[in-house]
Amino acid sequence: MKLIKVGAAVLNQIPLGWQNNRRNIVDAIRRAKVEEISLLCLPELAITGHGCEDAFQSPALQRTALEMLLEIRPETRGIAVAVGLPLMYRKALFDTVCLLVDGQIAGFVAKKFLAGDGLYYEPRWFKPWPEKQVGAFQLDGQAYPLGDLVFRVDGVHIGFEICEDAWVADRPGSDLAQRGVDIILNPSASHFAFEKFDIRRRFVLEGSRAFGVSYVYANLLGNESGRSIFDGGALIASGGRLLTQGPRFGFADWQVSSAVIDVDDTRMQQVRTGSFQPDLEPRPSHRIAVDFRFPATRFVPSEPQPAAWETSNSKKEEEFTRAVALALFDYLRKSHSRGFVVSLSGGADSAATSCLVALMVALALDELGPEGLRRKLGYLEFDDDITAEALVRRLLLCVYQSTRNSSETTRGAARAVAEAIGAEFLELDVDSLVGAYTAMVSQAVGRDLSWDQDDVVLQNIQARVRGPGVWMLANLRGALLLATSNRSEAAVGYTTMDGDTCGGLSPIGGIDKAFLRQWLGWMETSGPLGFGPLPALSAVNVQQPTAELRPSGAGQTDEGDLMPYEVLDAVERAAIRDKKAPVEVYRTLRGRRPELDRQQLADWVERFFRLWCRNQWKRERYAPSFHVDDENLDPKTWCRFPILSGGFDHEIEQLRQYVATDGVAADGVAADGAS
């Protein structure tokens, strides 16, 4: 048996955070040595951070990255380590991984396939490396091989797939297998989205089986640069069997996972595979021999140990909780904020935002303990024996701001939630401010403003006067004001700019209202595994969502103003995610919801498209939100749309004609096709 102990490290890096990144890399390498790991894979672009954006094009960044590489190099004596960094070569920038072996640079492998969709704009900064090409990179007076390389270390052949390389149909692993590779390392920076980890696990497993190799996958961890969340989850597989699955959503700076692989075993799997055809053409320049012997190790059987919450029936709710909690924690410490402020209205969105902050504290304290938490939040002072409740009160201020249209129901719900999670709670009466603004404008225009004539104006001023006071409180505390808008509201602009959009961060801006209400119900009755429910949320969950900006007798509800949230979210997915025209959206929903009135459904579809186009400028101004699924509306990272457009006038007219002239039979055909 040819046994090698391999490892994958997940790191919580910061773009341009040189000392943080270097420290995490070095600590992970040192830990790997303690665990007697012989080959360690680190994440993609670990030295610079993955989210440097246009700073990648800075010559200073290139120089500093190489300086950091040379500082890290001595730490690799006695071990082989793969570490990622950008590399400038022949007037082009490449996303590369450097293999460091026993304190020396063995060479650089460059990424072949660049991610240019969704969150990623890699082709803006990097060039794809051409297949089967090699070059030489000059560093510190010496030439090192660069390109499509395979490394031969102690008779073991090591190749690379770098993140996106493994997601494409014609992945490089197939060619590497033909070239006799025994181990494939995958340094990645793969963001979190619901169900995405299952896809990663499948391609790691399938790669190890189909290519007849051992496969080592390392990912980033945490909220690296503001919007994207990286869930970690290192994976090691061999010959189609998963050996190790690392923890996800951890609050530590780094985590190292390991397994012992048998190279002879995977080689024999290739021998037994009838379809395997080795590449017998000699390409000596593509194979780099490295003078190093892997230390002897003994076989230790390993089985993946996923966390208990990952196998629960509420996996989506658990993932959402842990992803946003980690993202909030990293945003807090990396921005050096001294806490959070939430304008707690007593409704679903602000209650969910406040609960997520409290869960952030509970999860971080549970994993790190008071001492570890104090080290991570070194700019804040608190006692070693601080409790989660005391820390929530220290970090979270909730503010209920009432007008004459506010109800005792929402006031009581806001107070109940704040008390249940342990937040500090204040009440502000802003009705006099509303009255003063209304009187001032009435005098200026020469008439009294009325609900019959000025409905939206009078609603908006109530939301806007809540902004300055809560901003003032955030400034007093050196805290971050959290906006509470959700994705469903963003889609149709159902929000007041400079009112409920006030804030420097919008934690729930990437999630739809239907799921948010489902999550709140789960929080009330179940809650995250190990932490339990929050019954006080019943005061929120029994209410119909309402902006509570019209007089109480108007019976205002969000769904009355818009449409049922489940319908809104279905229209949004069909129109924005699936890029369907209005008539196609209508026909799709008719197939799925035949019980809906035809004309009512058509009116809802038209309303969505009108509001979507009219409110793109609002989405451009929203505070940054966290990316939690691949249906995001953030125009800066995911969903681009013009601020000025034709408003789908032509397409909406087609919808009207279709509904007016088409019969039930035609709709029945559409329903069958869409179901």
Q: What is the pLDDT of residues 194-247, one digit of tens each?
A: 999 999 999 999 999 999 999 999 999 999 999 999 999 999 999 999 999 999
Strand partners, 150: 287
Of 374, 217, 243, 233, the closest CA to residue 307 belongs to 233
- How far separated are the first and last CA of the chain, in Å rounded? 54
Give kind and range of the element (H or E) at residue 671: helix 664-674
Confirm if 396 and 354 have CB atoms less than 8 A apart: yes
Q: Which of 385, 26, 33, 44 is nearest to 228 (CA)?
A: 44
Distance CA(105)–CA(675), nearest Å, equals 57
Ranges of H-type helices in 9-117: 18-34, 59-72
* Six token digits for residue 378: 């070194």
pLDDT of residue 282: 63
Q: DSSP class of residue 281? A: S
> pLDDT value at position 341?
98
Q: What is the mean pLDDT of residues 58-78?
A: 98
Q: What length is written for the chain? A: 675
Of the candidates 617, 495, 510, the one whose C-alpha atom is nearest the C-alpha of residue 545 is 495
Residue type, 99: L
464-to-392, 405, 499 alpha-carbon distances in Å:
27, 15, 4
Name the token pair of 585. Answer: 């959206």
Domain boundaries, the chain: 3-306, 311-560, 563-675
pTM of the model: 0.94
User: Which residue did the predictor score with more confidence, 472 or 387?
Assistant: 472
Q: Do β-strands 92-101 and 80-89 pair in parallel, antiparallel, or remain unpaired?
A: antiparallel
Has residue 597 got a pLDDT over 50? yes
Task: Name the 3-class secondary structure at 237.
Answer: strand
Cα 494-495-501 angle, rounded to 5 deg: 150
Q: Quickly count: other Cβ atoms within 10 Å of residue 119's Cβ.
A: 16
pLDDT in tens, 280-331: 676 667 899 999 999 999 988 888 888 999 999 999 999 999 999 999 999 9
Q: CA distances (Å), 106 to each of 181, 277, 284, 501, in order?
A: 16, 28, 15, 52
**For range 122-129, the mean pLDDT:** 97
Q: How is the beta sheet containing 340-343 ordered, strand by strand?
A: 424-429, 396-402, 340-343, 480-482
What kind of fold does domain 3-306 have according to CATH? Nitrilase/N-carbamoyl-D-aminoacid amidohydrolase (3.60.110)
| Class for the domain spanning 311-560 | alpha beta
Give CA–CA dist 376/364, Å, rounded: 10
- Look at residue 600 and tell me whether its pLDDT is greater than 70: yes
- Residue identified by tokens 């609050």 is 251
Instruction: Kindly report the number of other CB atoms within 10 A of residue 155's CB atom.
Output: 11
Share of the chain above pLDDT 90, in %: 85
pLDDT at 672: 34
Average the pLDDT over 67-91 and give the result: 98
Tens-place pLDDT, residues 511-530: 999 999 999 999 999 999 99
Contacts of 186 (CB under 8 A, 6+ apart): 41, 160, 161, 162, 163, 165, 166, 204, 215, 216, 217, 218
State the chain's mean pLDDT as an integer.
93
CA distances, 84 to each of 100, 111, 121, 188, 351 (Å): 11, 10, 18, 9, 41
- Write the DSSP symbol of residue 553: G
Q: Determine how β-strand 221-223 pairs with β-strand 229-231.
A: antiparallel
Pairing type for strands 142-147 and 134-139 reads antiparallel
Beta strand residue intervals within 300-395, DSSP E: 340-343
Question: Are the C-beta atoms of 215 and 236 separated by less than 8 Å?
Answer: yes
